Every structure is written in C-alpha cells, then in structure tokens.
A and B are shown apart, each in its own frame.
Chain A
Amino acid sequence: MYLHNRLESKSNFFQKIKDIDFILLAGILLLGIISISTMYSTDGGQVLFHTKSHFVKFILFTGLMLLISFLNIRFWFSISYIAYFIIILMLIWTVNFGITASGSQRWINLYFINLQPSELMKIFIILCLAKYFHRKRLENVNSFYSIIFSMIIILLPMSLVIIQPDLGTSILISISGILVLWFSGLNHKYFFYSFLISILSLPFIISFLKPYQKLRVLTFLNPDRDPLGAGYQIIQSKIAVGSGGLFGKGFLQGTQSYLEFLPEKHTDFIFTLFSEEFGFLGSVILLLLYAIIIYRVIKIGSISRSYFAKLFCYSFGGSLFVFITINMSMVLGLLPIVGSPLPIMSYGGSSMLATMIGFGIVMSAKIHSKQAIA
C-alpha cells in the first residue's frame, strides 16, 4: 500500500504541477512583491530590517505553501482535530509563558521565530469546524449537540486570546468560525438572533471593556476629542490616505510616513502608507488584486469534489475578505481601532504563515480537487 502510494505520487508529480492554480499563485506572488516594496518604503527607501525580514519570510512561506499544496487534501482532513488541539495547547502555553510586548502576552519563543498562535488559530479553526461539519448530515447540523460543540470550538480559543489581551484577533477567530457555521447550513435565524443580541448587549459589553479599549471606541466615534493622544493614529491615517489623492504622492514620497507621522506603519497601518503613495487608483488596484485572489479561492472551492475542501475554501475566502475589510475600515476611520493585520501586506510572521498555510491548503484542494473524502 505504502509503496503503491509512493509510485503513484511519483508518477503524478508532474501532473500535480500542471494542476497548480497559476492565477492564484501569480496573484499571491504579485501581492508579495507589492508588500515587499511597501515595506521598503516604510524603511525610508532603504533595505533595512523590516524589508529583509519580510522578504525572507515571504520566500520561506511561499515555499511552504507550495509544499503544502502537494500534500493530499485528505492529509489535512485527517490532522484537523489534532492541529486545532495543538494550537489550543500553544495558546495555553502563551497565557502562562508567552512573551509580553506592548502590554499583551501574545507570542511563544521558538528560538528561531516568535510565533503568535492566535494568528494560526484563524486558519485552524476553519479546518477543525470544516471537518466536523463534513461528517455531519445536513439535518443534524441544527441539532442541539452540534451547536454546543461548535460553540465550544469557537469560544475556547476566543477566551484564550481575549485574556492575552487581544480583542482584535479573538474577534477575527470567531468570525472565521462563524463563517464555517454559515456555510455548513446552520439555520439563518441563529445568525439573525445572535446578531440582534450582540447589538443589544453592546453597551453592556462596552462597560466590561478595559479603559484603553473604551477609549478606542470613544475615539472612533469622535477622533478629535484627543487629537494628539488617542485620536492621533486615526487622524494621521486619514490625513495620509486623503492627501494621497487620485494618483498618490509617488513611491517613496509619502510624507506622512517618511516624517513619522504614521504610527504602526509596518503592521496594521500598512495600507495607509500604500494608499498615500499610490493614491485612489493604486488602492483600487490593490483591492482588485485581493478580489481576484479571493475569487480564485472560492472558485477552487466550487470545483472541489469534497465537501470538506469546499467548506474550507469558502470559509477561508470569506475570512480573508473579512480580515481585509476590517483592516481597511479601521485605517479609513470606519471602525474603531482593533489590532488586525492586512493579510500578506502587514509585517508579521505568524499572520503571513497562517495565511500561506491557508493558501497552501486551498491549492492542495485544487490539485486534489477530484479527491473525494469519505
């Protein structure tokens, strides 16, 4: 059996390469190039730490993505629960022994890399729930037992991340999970009611927020209440984007970022810098690139034979869209500031690793699209 598999995989190797989704790959590579050039701009037009590090990570993780794509989609199906469990353990480890930076304990020191397990959880929660619902019959999806089970799957990592504290990532994890629930056919009314309940309980939730989080909400509602303090980031971000105009100030010419008016320009506010330098047209092109990538991810889902692969691709595509939307809304002043990176563009290894693993699984689904999972 083992030998047979080996022979089969060997003979199929070239076939697999042929089956790679080149549009998606090209999109990802293009996005990588854009992100590296933007990082070069944040370094003030020099190849400094951030550019180098981002470049190395992108190359490394693209290789990893290709490697993953050659693994059979069944492999990912089989390890879904274990992977989820391992990351839960990592989150527990983080809570106890994690590295603290700027007031929150988010990272595990793996000696060669500081890993942020909460970022990985954004992907692996999809994997875990996709497997669960793959096995469920449609009429059992709305059963009490499966709802409770999926609630636990979502709430456990959420609470582990919230106590780091990292509200932004925990919301994104829950959104990833909820998207799987949506695609798996959970009754509309549950989404409707829970949405209603969360809106109604918003004031109650706000009263439980930490002071700095409350401040963010207040600042979002009126950035000018403290323009040099809490409102500074969002005001400067809007100035940068707005001053970019139709065509932008030009590559390496963004005064807002060059003169250090933009905080967090490497990470969450990377889009601000991009938008300042490339203007409305550049921003729309970037959005278009993201849209193409997401479209390809969904397209791969639609041609996959297995329900697991379909569920994963749809949910991953959906969550990518949500990550992008939340990040952009935040820097454009449409949402309060929560820590949420822009996939691939933002500096940060764990986020990129998670996104690339996601793409890898999607590509694996493409290559093994004819594969049915029992």
Chain B
Amino acid sequence: MINQSDNVLKLNSINRRMFILAAAKVILLGGIVSRLFFLQVKENKKYLTLSDKNRIREWKLPPVRGHFEDYFGNTIAGNFEAYELHLIPEEIENFKYTINRVRNILQLSENQFQKILKKKDQIKPWENLIVSNNLTWENFSKINNNLYDLNGVKPVISVSRNYPFKENYTHVLGYVSQANEQDIISNEIIKEKFVQGLKVGKIGLEKTFENDLIGTNSIERYEVNAYGRRISQLEFQKGDKGKTIKLTIDTEIQKLTNELLAEKAGSICVMDIFTGHVIAMHSSPSFDPNKFVFGINTDDWQLIRNDPMKPLVNKSLSGNYSPGSTIKPIVALSALENKIINANFRVNCKGHKEPLELYGQTYHCWKKEGHGIVDMREAMKQSCDTYFYEVARRLGVDKLSETAKKFGLGKKVFEDLFEIEKSGLVPSTSWKKNVLGINWVLGETIITGIGQGYIQTTPIQLCLMTAQIANGGHKIIPKLIVDSKTDDEDKFSPIVEDAKNMKLVQDAMFSSTNEVRGTSYKSRIDDPKYQFAGKTGTAQVKRITKQDRELDLDTSEIPYEERDHALYIAFGPYKNPRYAVSIVIEHGGSGGAVAAPLAKQLFKKIIDRHEIRKNFESNKYLNI
C-alpha cells in the first residue's frame, strides 16, 4: 500500500525534525537549570531570609518596670505578681459552658461579661482572651481548684505596678496606667515597646523617667504556620528590667508629713540645706495611686475629682501662693545688702489708729494696737507689717526682686523634672510694664514687702529659699534623684555679698521662734539639739475690707474659700543648721497658729533621722 521510497522519505523527515526538536529541548532544559541555579544558589540568601520571615514570628512580652527607691533603698514603687485569667477559645470545647462557669466563679457583672464576649469576637481563636488582669487571690485559687473541668482556661501570674506607701508618694511619683493612643504617639520608646496591657507613667516621675524605667521586652520567637498559629517555640530572649531610680526622700519623714497634713489641704517640703536633697515633699490631700494601675472606677474617680481640697493638684510644685510674711527675711536681707537700712533702722508702728498712708491708700499692720518703735530684729520677730512697708518703700521692688530671684523664687526649682511645676512670680517694674502694659505704682511695692500682691511662690520655692538663708546664703541645687548629674560650677557659691547680713536675718528668724512675743514662740523647742528658727506667714486670699477689719472674725467663722493660707518656713538645728522646711496650709488661718506647730513635730523627727541618714551615707562609702 505504501511504497518503499515514500517510507524512506518519511523516516528521513521525522529523524531530521527529531534532531531540531532535541536541540530545542536541550536549550530549554538549560534555561530551567539556570533558573534553578539563579534562585537556589545565587539568590539563596534573599529567599532564605524571606522564608525565615515567613515562619518565624516574634511575640513581645510586657517589659518589667524599674523600681523607685527611697534614700535608704526601700522600694516605694515596685512590682507585684498580678493574677490574670486568660481563655484560649480554640482549646475550649463548649465555650458557652466554660464562660458561664468562669462568670459564676468570679461573680462577673453583666457589663463585664458582655465586654468579654465582645473581646472574644475581635481575636483569633488561638489568641489569649484576657478575662481579668487583676484577680484576687481568693478568686485565683477558686479558678485553680476548678481547672479540672475548665479546658482552655489559663490562670497566669504576671507583673504589675505596686505602690506600697499608697498616698504618701503619689505627688512625687505619679502613677502608671494602661498606655493609651496619646502615650504611644508622643513617645517613640513606648511605641517600640508597646504590647497589649503595657502600663506607662501618666504623671510625675513615673512619666518623666518613663524611658529609663520601662525596661526591655522579653521576646518569644515562635515558628508559625501560614495561618499564624504557633507551632513551636524557637527562642526566649529575656528582656532587661528597667532602671531603678533612687530618690533622696526619707520615707519616715514623708509619712510624717502625710500624717501632719491629714484632713488639711496643703504642702510640706523638707530640704537638706547643703546637698539640696529633698528629704520630704508632700501635697495633701493625696490619693492611692494603686487605684489607677488597672483603671480607676468611676465612683472613686468622681470622689477624687470633686473633692474641694483638690487632691489632684500637686500643691508643693504647682500651688502658687502669696508668700505673706515668709518673704520678710528676703525683704530685710535685700535692704541690708543694698545698704538701704542697717540693723538699727527703726520704724514706729502705731497700729490701726494711724496706718501708713500713701496717695490716699492706707496700709495697716496686722496688729490693731501696733508694735511701737521696732528695729529689724524686733520687726521680724513680731512680723510687723508697718516696718516692712517702710523698708520696701525705701528699697524699691526691683532690688527686692533681684534678691528674691537669687534665692530661687520666680523660677522652677526642678527645671523639667515635673511637667506640672509652676514657676511662681516675682514682680518687678519692667515685668509689669512688659506683661500687663501698666506702670508700676508705689503701693504695689509696699504690699510686696509683706508678700502680698503680684508675688507668687510655690512651697518648694519657699523651702529652697529657706535652705539658702540657712546655709549662710549659698546657692544649692535641689535634688530629688540620688546620683543625678548637676552642674557643679556654681554649686554652693555665695549669693550674698556680706555674710553678716545673712547672720542678722537668721538671728531675727531665731527670735521669731524662740523669744517671747515671737509669732511662733508657742511652737519652739528649747532643746538645742532640735531648736529651730522660722518665720510665719499668713497670706490673704482676698482683700481685707474696712468691714472685715471691724468685724475681726475668727477663722472658723469665715467661709473656707475665703480663709487665709497659713505658711511657715523654718530651718534647724539653729546652732548648726542642716535642714529647711516649708509648710503651707491652704485656708488654714494664721501661720503662727496652724502651720508653725507642725514644724515642731517635724523637726524632732528630722533631726532624729539625721544620724541615721549620715551613718547610712558613710556606710555606703565604706562598702565600696
């Protein structure tokens, strides 16, 4: 049928084409092999990295926050083991049954229950559903007892913030709470270390030192599959605990200040007059910061927020008060320094019968009967207003403000340590012209001389001022953190020209506390070990009208908001001064009656603690 020659032709053709195709095949095969070579040998590193990126996932754990310690190494903000309860939905056979069991054991409210159910819908089934992050021990053990029929329920022990001294340190340390969006946006380090449930400082030193305290996350590396499920743990990289920050504060004294200010609104500050160490700094009323760690409940929050004594305000740092008569040592010093007066300069105080009159304004002394002829020492002792009206008039506000600023008034004591610290105000003629646009009038100088009018100070400023008076007029740099670096250049450099003037002022303050007719004579301590010198102050919060003067009401008869602030500044022991104190009681009445008695109790404690502090310090160096 098919002839032979055709067959030969066909075979020739097919063999020829076979060779053509074989050549093509070799080329294609070479292409595939070179592609394999490119991917597997040349680009191997790149794809290996991509493959690891695929399969390895990191889980950050919350970092362990650094502690705060007081001067003696006691933990004042630490960590405690918080009992948490997690559910892993995919491990639970009957979710409805389990969640209801848990609900019954923990006695969850309907609201909490719904919140948990809502959270469950937002997470993947193998992720942890946090039912509670702070169980009581009782509930925690109840859950543990019932674990046998609670599959997928995991009691977890984690670390959370604890403030063992509760309200004592609130205004110094602040508190931590759950990081919110604002915290994450404003701080890169929080952003980097953020994990669900991370707590960060919201206020106070907790916030200022956030970046030191926060620590580093522990990292768990897991191999995961394409759906993100953990297959096996590859590595656990332990994070570092945050830095421990040591304060200069003595907890014993801090606690005493809290007790002294109980039921009162105000502040007590105690400072070492040589080192600038803040020994105590308390603002009252305070509140328990532990309540904020897991989010404060609405009732407690309303209670704190609506308290008329304003527990949320840090009065030591952001309370602006007229210094009242506590400014008088500075007025006297300034006048002496500027040689306006000498120690023997005398003024006749005639009381309300014949007050100082200037351009139709009258300026009364606080004492109706008057003090008679007084010199500087006597005027300071009895806090004669008329004397200081006259001194201020001669001195002028600008010279006064210069001296006041040298002693630390009018600017922040801790610079940028606290967001909320106020700088107070030391007025001058140029200040008024620039800020208010009005010329200074002499009457304003007169009242500035007794610490009224524009002048504003914070309790910590008054404390610093007193400390610098006590150390003989040397500049100190207040410290709240041990080992914090400060410029040593102008440290302890003199800020008065004549040390004799300083001595005169100190002596005048001594008489005010320790001599008969002194304004704080009743609060004196005769034992030279504890003996201190001070100056009372009573700051008006409203102008005293003629009517008020005639009524002459007792403090308890005046509405709370209109009562005077009671102030007291002091240093001791007088013979060999070491500590300065400032006390402010808001709307407390007279400084001599209300504030000064607290100093008496305070100094006993401070001086007693001094030995311990000194020994602790020398021991510390010995150990090294």
Contact = CB atoms under 8 A, between A and B. Distances in A.
Interface of A: 135, 137-139, 179, 182-185, 236, 238-246, 255-256, 258-261, 275, 279-280, 283-284, 287, 291, 294, 298, 301-302, 307, 310-311, 314, 318, 321, 325, 328-329, 332, 334, 374
A150 to B, nearest CB: 16
What DSSP secondary structure best describes chain B's contact surface?
helix
Interface string B218-234: 00000111110001000
Contact of A261 (B6, B10, B40, B54): B54
Contact of A284 (B6, B22, B33): B33
Contacts of B225: 258-261
A261 B231 CA distance: 13
5 contacts: A241-B36, A260-B226, A261-B225, A314-B18, A329-B32
Contacts of B182: none
Contacts of B43: 242
B36 A283 contact: yes
Contact size range, B:
35 or more
Contact of A280 (B10, B36, B54): B36
Interface string B59-95: 0000000000000000000000000000000000000
Contacts of A179: 21
Nearest to A262: B226
Contacts of B358: none
Given A243-B51, A302-B18, A325-B32, A279 B40 contact: yes
Contacts of B223: 255, 259
Contact of B36 (A137, A239, A275): A275
B39 interface: yes
Given A137-B2, A246-B44, A259-B223, A332 B14 contact: no
Contact of B50 (A242, A245, A275): A242
Given A241-B40, A245-B48, A334 B2 contact: no
B55 interface: yes
Contacts of A260: 225-227
B558 interface: no
Contact of A374 (B1, B31, B227): B1
B35 A332 contact: yes
Interface string B1-37: 1100011011101110110011001001101110111
B54 to A, nearest CB: 5
B185 interface: no
B54 A259 contact: yes
A183 B40 contact: no
Interface in B285-330: none
A183 B9 contact: no
A291 B54 CA distance: 34
A239 B54 contact: yes
Given A302-B15, A307-B7, A241 B226 contact: no
A22 to B, nearest CB: 23
A137 B40 CA distance: 49
Contacts of A314: 14, 18, 21
A238 B32 contact: no
A307 B35 contact: no
